[in-house]
Chain A
């Protein structure tokens, strides 16, 4: 009966799509029919490919994500990363010496621990025989860590890899100015007192002005918030729509937190402080309160505010990725398969944050799926305006034809499947750690809500983007 119904509905002209969604919702909420629906989705094909190993996520954890400058403010990044690694060890009980390789993503690097993966791994008690490296790709750094792991396993180089990410925005490397650095280096090389004095005599007071890590895009000198504001304006997204979306994110996150759905969070005893058990950026407010805020980037008339942007966050995440046969041999019950993935990039000026729009159709096509096959969407929320712009772009034939070289629009992900447990706007966004959170949210939601496929997508600085298909591991 259901199949007949969907068949008819699919063949309705495009205009009645909203009607379709309307009548589908009450259907899917009826529990009796849900079982039938689930069994139908299970009949979807699997994405296993011949001659390529199946790769699974055994499990994943993250530290609570905290607003920068709160409980993690005295830590160093490798401390957070170590906490995530320890949490993963504890959660999965994986023997340390089984791990072949460790990869972490991070964005703002602490210069003392530039290979933060290695420092954290050693501290967490992993074997000193397990190599580790650090990758960076802006907000999709830990996605890159995971896909690197997939590559290592698929090519047969490794069987067990830990991938993760960390960001500590409470402390950032602020440097001396180039002139000051040059003077200090010259001073190091000077041999005689006369030489030293002559170098010191060149000192000027402006040498002391510090250099902050770039908050703006290097190629365009534009900050991301500014770009997001322009993007929202380009897609004619109002301040109210953005605030509403942000409120949705916070409300859903709160609900998920209260219901204990955020099971990837592991408590972290911060040295000298209390144990942190949950994310602290989830703050559902009211639209009235949000409307009072002034624009943060384009003043005085912009639409992006502190309330509808993701905030500076400290946090770390880690996942255990294995070849399926290895996981099964070790007696694990994996949570999900990591399937096809895709990286894209586009104009860093005007399309800085449109990565998901470009990556989504490509990864779906690669996997042979359609938007309708996806049961769970987990998109990185950098800004409300960015998410809504991506949704509008995906829903626009004009955009698809003029900028993506497609005949028709990508299609709109149904909002009822979209970031149902909150997103970066509310949970927080430690740049290097968000990717693993997205994958675990997709995997955990698939298990909880039922369904076979999850789609993870994110934008990143540099005008890059990423998407990956996560397939539920059969129960």
Chain B
């Protein structure tokens, strides 16, 4: 699950990066190119929109740069222009080899054009798209004139499929250069030959890893794997901007290799290492192959719990190609591609992808003053986490606490977070040290007079938050934003003691901050637009996916989770064991079981929230009794942090055991179970429908601005099953009527808690009404 999220995040990251550089360069680049390069022949330079093509000596240089877009995508237009150019290359007697390069900074080709897929209504149409691409790439693969793919920036999905169809690949060793097959994250598979080519190129284990996880591979690793043949170092400033000259240099190097390949001075074959040779020998034995397929399938089944069809299909298609030959393989690939594109899972995942793209933009515009100096009050788990994701992006951050041990713990957390990246080799120790120097730990408010934003992350206690706000406001400058990190305390109430409530805002981070992508920003009636813009800007710089919601008890995320948690307690009281409940929730697609979730979040926190929101929302939030949580707290069963909750947690012990002392608590508070709403499926739906109903009510009441934010918040903050696409996609794809029917059924058993909200009923009454049109 976490991997899936990371993968999704990554895709977005690729598409949204460096807008400024891009804008500048896209204006300058084509012009410069046109003037500076002397091509011996440039055919129809101006008639093509995506491709600029010319010849240097006997090497054709094909440059891709789609207009008006931050990235190049394999659209039908690009596809046909490319075919046209390749046909010229093949028919020209002067040309002996070709270089394929993108002149768009930071992007080779980011993938296939998703709109092209979305506009298809049948699997046959999708299959046809796949087959056309397969044909083109096959022709490219069989080209007698060698084609060198010169890769700078993201080379993903269809882009990778194009690159691996070329005879040779040269990639820049840039952080932005990433190769990968992320299709699985969208519920589909690589549909232009990668399922057949990748296993041959990098070996089956690595190919499965790439296609089943969707992970992006950096250039240096790609070189080791045999995915690219040569690396080119990114250049610094010379007599041109570094990005521009790097692309030019990449092209120059690629041209020499293209010539070398045409002259047969270089062979595209690479020497395989001993391990590789042994592996490929082992894989030539059918029995070994079968065992490997079985192993991979088992692993996938365990991880997807059968909820995601794409990974298993990918294994199938790869298998078909290997066992039955490539014709069968290509056919299977294109057909399965068509089938998968039509699944609900794929539509849900693609919807999430689009939602995520939206939530990575600042729709409030650029803030008047960019935050340069940040101050975080409270060096606990959250505060230190916030500090970590700030300093590693270069934000100067003060971390303040009241005692030296508490501060030291927080500083150590930040250091450990950074150091873990050093161990994973994504950072050098030098970069870590430079980042850690952005952090200043202190016990007083010194330096706050220069802060542009203060984020408080002290205990969830209104009086304490009031005190911190007043203390901070005594020091901070007028323009400084004061943000409160809270999961449930209304921001409006925190702001009551503020001299400048327009500068007060809520920033609800999720734990662990460096891993969880979501940031829920809460605005009150008084919060100014510029304050919101500033908070969103900081959040985006911290790498967060952001939803902006209105103030209210529990905001959006906590509010949706609370009725579901109330149901969790009731189900436990009705006699379903925590382990059983956990497996029911995870098999529905939640990444973490419901009982475990209570332990992870903290029983005291759960009780605090349940109590507060219970008071505000009354009957609708009832269900399990608060007494369960209160008794747990009195016995010290606070969840993971105290070592005991529903489970027992021990350092170094992987399989957690049930806490047998819970039996007496649950037995003493036992509730009668109602057999007609207590089947496994009913239990799952009791949990999910309460969540979904509350989410839709949030949209109805205007807490949420858009359904997309509701879906992103639910999936990225609360672990709502990604295969369902979030509560709103879920209603759209599975039918509002079915969900209302479920709710009505449970309503007869539990009354108001399951009464569907008006907006949901509206959707059920009118099947044409969808949250996503």
CB of A128 within 8 A of chain B? Answer: no
CB of B287 within 8 A of chain A? Answer: no
B235 touches A230 (CB 8 A): yes
Choose, from B236-244, B365-373, B486-494, B535-543, the stretch at the interface: B236-244
A399 touches B235 (CB 8 A): no
With A219-B430, A234-B245, A301-B253 in contact, do A403 and B237 touch (Cβ < 8 Å)?
yes
Q: Find residues 343-365 in chain A having any chain B CB closer than 8 Å to their own CB.
A: 347, 349-351
Q: Find residues 210-244 in chain B having any chain A CB closer than 8 Å to their own CB.
A: 230, 233-242
With A220-B430, A233-B249, A301-B256 in contact, do A350 and B235 touch (Cβ < 8 Å)?
yes
* Chain A: minimal CB distance from B177 (Å): 16
A399 touches B239 (CB 8 A): yes
CB of B428 within 8 A of chain A? Answer: yes
* Chain B: minimal CB distance from A75 (Å): 34
A396 touches B430 (CB 8 A): no
| Bound-complex Cα distance A349 to B237 (A) | 11
Chain B residues within an 8 Å CB radius of A235: 238-239
| Bound-complex Cα distance A200 to B242 (A) | 53
| Bound-complex Cα distance A127 to B245 (A) | 57
Chain B residues within an 8 Å CB radius of A233: 233, 235, 238, 245, 249
CB of A236 within 8 A of chain B? Answer: yes
* Chain B: minimal CB distance from A170 (Å): 30
Closest A residue to B266 by CB, please name it. Answer: A300
Binary interface profile of A, 216-233, with partner B (CB < 8 Å = 1, else 0)?
001111000010011101
Chain A residues within an 8 Å CB radius of B239: 235-236, 392-393, 396, 398-399
Chain A residues within an 8 Å CB radius of B241: 402
B236 touches A349 (CB 8 A): yes
CB of A261 within 8 A of chain B? Answer: no
Chain A residues within an 8 Å CB radius of B242: 234, 350
| Bound-complex Cα distance A392 to B230 (A) | 28
Q: Choose among A226, A236, A351 the residue that contacts B236 (Cβ–Cβ < 8 A).
A: A351
* Chain A: minimal CB distance from B352 (Å): 38
Most chain A CB atoms below 10 A, which of B230, B235, B242, B430? B235
Q: Choose among A218, A220, A234 the residue that contacts B238 (Cβ–Cβ < 8 A).
A: A234
B428 touches A389 (CB 8 A): no
| Bound-complex Cα distance A393 to B428 (A) | 30
| Bound-complex Cα distance A231 to B721 (A) | 50
Chain A residues within an 8 Å CB radius of B240: 398
CB of A256 within 8 A of chain B? Answer: no
| Bound-complex Cα distance A218 to B234 (A) | 19
Chain B residues within an 8 Å CB radius of A158: none
Q: How many residues of B contact A (CB 8 A)?
A: 18
B233 touches A298 (CB 8 A): yes
Chain B residues within an 8 Å CB radius of A219: 430
Binary interface profile of A, 390-422, with partner B (CB < 8 Å = 1, else 0)?
001100101100110000000000000000000
Binary interface profile of A, 428-451, with partner B (CB < 8 Å = 1, else 0)?
000000000000000000000000
Most chain B CB atoms below 10 A, which of A230, A231, A233, A351? A233
With A301-B253, A301-B256, A350-B242 in contact, do A230 and B236 touch (Cβ < 8 Å)?
yes
A236 touches B428 (CB 8 A): no
Closest B residue to A349 by CB, please name it. Answer: B236
Binary interface profile of B, 242-274, with partner A (CB < 8 Å = 1, else 0)?
100100010001001100000000000000000
Closest A residue to B240 by CB, please name it. Answer: A398
A351 touches B233 (CB 8 A): no
Closest B residue to A403 by CB, please name it. Answer: B237
A234 touches B237 (CB 8 A): yes
* Chain B: minimal CB distance from A106 (Å): 24
Chain B residues within an 8 Å CB radius of A221: 428, 430
A230 touches B430 (CB 8 A): no
Closest A residue to B237 by CB, please name it. Answer: A403
| Bound-complex Cα distance A389 to B236 (A) | 12
B236 touches A347 (CB 8 A): yes
With A233-B249, A301-B256 in contact, do A350 and B236 touch (Cβ < 8 Å)?
yes
| Bound-complex Cα distance A235 to B237 (A) | 8
Chain A residues within an 8 Å CB radius of B233: 226, 229-230, 233, 298
Binary interface profile of B, 337-381, with partner A (CB < 8 Å = 1, else 0)?
000000000000000000000000000000000000000000000
| Bound-complex Cα distance A226 to B233 (A) | 9
* Chain A: minimal CB distance from B176 (Å): 16
Closest A residue to B254 by CB, please name it. Answer: A301
| Bound-complex Cα distance A398 to B235 (A) | 16
* Chain B: minimal CB distance from A49 (Å): 35
Most chain B CB atoms below 10 A, which of A226, A230, A402? A230
Chain B residues within an 8 Å CB radius of A230: 233-236
* Chain B: minimal CB distance from A162 (Å): 36
Q: Find residues 220-276 in chain A having any chain B CB closer than 8 Å to their own CB.
A: 220-221, 226, 229-231, 233-236
A231 touches B253 (CB 8 A): no
| Bound-complex Cα distance A233 to B249 (A) | 7
| Bound-complex Cα distance A226 to B173 (A) | 13
A392 touches B238 (CB 8 A): yes
With A301-B253, A301-B256, A350-B242 in contact, do A231 and B430 touch (Cβ < 8 Å)?
no
* Chain A: minimal CB distance from B42 (Å): 22
Closest B residue to A351 by CB, please name it. Answer: B236
Q: Find residues 91-143 in chain B having any chain A CB closer than 8 Å to their own CB.
A: none
Most chain A CB atoms below 10 A, which of B234, B238, B428? B238
Closest B residue to A352 by CB, please name it. Answer: B236
* Chain A: minimal CB distance from B239 (Å): 5
Q: Find residues 123-144 in chain A having any chain B CB closer than 8 Å to their own CB.
A: none
| Bound-complex Cα distance A298 to B173 (A) | 12
* Chain A: minimal CB distance from B255 (Å): 11
Chain B residues within an 8 Å CB radius of A301: 230, 253, 256-257
| Bound-complex Cα distance A215 to B257 (A) | 30
Closest 10 pairs (CB-CB, A-B) = A350-B236, A234-B238, A234-B235, A235-B238, A396-B239, A219-B430, A233-B249, A230-B233, A234-B236, A230-B235
Given A392-B238, A393-B238, list of 10 further CB < 8 A pairs? Answer: A226-B233, A230-B234, A230-B235, A230-B236, A233-B245, A233-B249, A234-B236, A236-B239, A393-B239, A396-B239
User: What are 21 A-B contacts with C-beta separation under 8 Å?
Assistant: A218-B430, A220-B428, A221-B430, A230-B234, A230-B236, A233-B233, A233-B238, A233-B245, A233-B249, A234-B235, A234-B245, A235-B239, A347-B236, A350-B235, A350-B242, A351-B236, A392-B239, A393-B238, A396-B239, A399-B237, A399-B239
List residues of A whose CB falls within 8 A of some B CB. Answer: 218-221, 226, 229-231, 233-236, 298, 301, 347, 349-351, 389, 392-393, 396, 398-399, 402-403
List residues of B whose CB falls within 8 A of some A CB. Answer: 230, 233-242, 245, 249, 253, 256-257, 428, 430
